[in-house]
Amino acid sequence: MSSTPVVHDQAFPDRPVRIIDPFGAGGGVDVIARALARGLAAAWGEPVIVENHPGAGSTAAPALVAHAPPDGYTLLINTSAQAYSAARAGELPYDPLRDFVPVAALTSQPYVLVAGAQSGIATIDELAAAASDRPGEIRFASAGIGTGTHLAVAKLNRDLGIAAAHTPPAATDAITDVIAGTAAGHTTYTMLPIPPAAPYLQDGGLIALGVSTARRSRLLPDVPPLTEAGVAGFDFPIWYGIWAPAQTPAGIVSTLARDIADTLATAELSEWLTQHDADPMHMSPAEFGAFVVSEAERAAVLLSASRAQGR
C-alpha cells in the first residue's frame, strides 16, 4: 500500500526515522506501525523503518527509546500498556511518563471478551453465574500484569462483582490456555485484541461474549458491546500511540504530530484503518499527554484493587 503524500517544507527529517515496536512482527501494533511508516515515508521522502524489539515483558523497546538521542529519529509505538505501565514504574528500567514525550495518539480498537468453548459459558450472565457458584475458582488470563488485557478484565470483574483468580502470565499463553478450558485446570476467560482472536472464534475454540467498546466491531458485527450484554457503561478499548524520548525539541514533536495526523487522514490510510476496525484518535500532543496521564491514573486504581484482591 502507498499512501497519498502529504508534503511539508521542513528540515526534519533529513535521514531515516526508526519506529520501535515492543512486539513481534505481524501483531496488531506491527501492522499499524508499518501502515503508518509507509505513509510517512511517502510524505517525507525519507525511509521510515519499523524495528521489532520484543522481550523483557514488552519493556525492551521502551527502554531502548527512553535512552535514545532526543532528536525525533527514534520513536516508540506502543499500546495503551505504555500508560498503564506507569503504575509499575518502580519495577521498570525507565519511567513511562517522565522519560517520554507523548507525540501522537493513533487509533483505538475494541477488545473481545472470550471464553473457552469447553467452559460451557456463552454469555456474560453465564460467566457471572459460574463465578458466583465457584468464587475464587474461576480463572482469567491476560498478556501480563498491568497490561490492557489484564486491566480490562479487572474492570469487568469489578463492575460485575466477580471474584476470579489471575493466571500468571509467564505460565501460559492466554489463547491456548483458555481454549484448553476448565476441564484441564486452566483458565476460563480472557480479553483479547480481535485480530488474534478471530481464527479461534471462527473454528469454535473460543466463544465471544462481547466487545469492550460502546460501538460494535466492524470485524465482529454480530457480537454485542459489553454495555449491551449487561455491563452498564463498560468502555475499555485498546489504543495506540507514538512517543519520543524526553527532551525531544518541541518543534520536532509538533512536526511529527502534524505529519502523523495528516498521514492518518489520507484517503488511502483512512480506508485501511476502517478495514482493520481502527478509529483514528484526534488529539494534539498536549491533549494526548493529558490523556496518557488520565489513563495511567485509571490503571493505577484498577491495578491497586486487583492486587488487593490477590489478582
The answer to whether residue 5 is domain-embedded is no
Cell 489463547, residue? Answer: 175
Average pLDDT, the chain: 89
**End of a domain among 187, 213, 236?**
236
Cell 468502555, residue? Answer: 235
| Under 8 Å between Cβ of 110 and 237 | yes
Tell me, what's the pLDDT at 170?
Answer: 60
- Based on the fold, state whether residues 163 and 183 are members of the same structural domain: yes
pLDDT-derived band of residue 143, with 50, 70 and 90 as boundaries? confident
The answer to whether residue 66 is domain-embedded is yes
User: What is the extent of the structural domain holding 70?
Assistant: 17-109+238-302
Question: Which of 276, 283, 301, 263 lies closest to 103 in space, CA to CA?
Answer: 283
pLDDT-derived band of residue 37, with 50, 70 and 90 as boundaries? very high
Give the chain's length: 311
Task: Please give the model's pTM, rounded to 2 decimal places.
Answer: 0.87
Task: Give me the DSSP letters along 221-242.
Answer: TTSPBTTTTT-TT----EEEEE
| Under 8 Å between Cβ of 260 and 74 | no
Tell me, what's the pLDDT at 1?
Answer: 41
pLDDT-derived band of residue 41, with 50, 70 and 90 as boundaries? very high
Pairing of strands 238-245, 17-21: unpaired
The answer to whether residue 9 is domain-embedded is no
- Based on the fold, state whether residues 115 and 99 are members of the same structural domain: no
Tell me, what's the pLDDT at 176?
Answer: 82
**End of a domain among 184, 211, 236?**
236
Q: Residue 207: left if φ>0, alpha if ψ -120 to 50, beta else—which one?
A: beta
Question: Which of 43, 47, 53 lies closest to 76 in space, CA to CA?
Answer: 53
The answer to whether residue 254 is domain-embedded is yes
Mean pLDDT (whole number) for 6-10: 45
Torsion sign, CA atoms 162, 164, 166, 167: negative
Tell me, what's the pLDDT at 4?
Answer: 42
- Based on the fold, state whether residues 150 and 230 are members of the same structural domain: yes
Tell me, what's the pLDDT at 180?
Answer: 80
- Based on the fold, state whether residues 232 and 121 are members of the same structural domain: yes
pLDDT-derived band of residue 172, with 50, 70 and 90 as boundaries? low
Q: Is the pLDDT of residue 8 over 80?
A: no
- CATH code: domain of residue 62: 3.40.190.150
For residue 192, what are the contacts with CB-CB under 8 A and spacing of at least 6? 111, 112, 114, 149, 174, 175
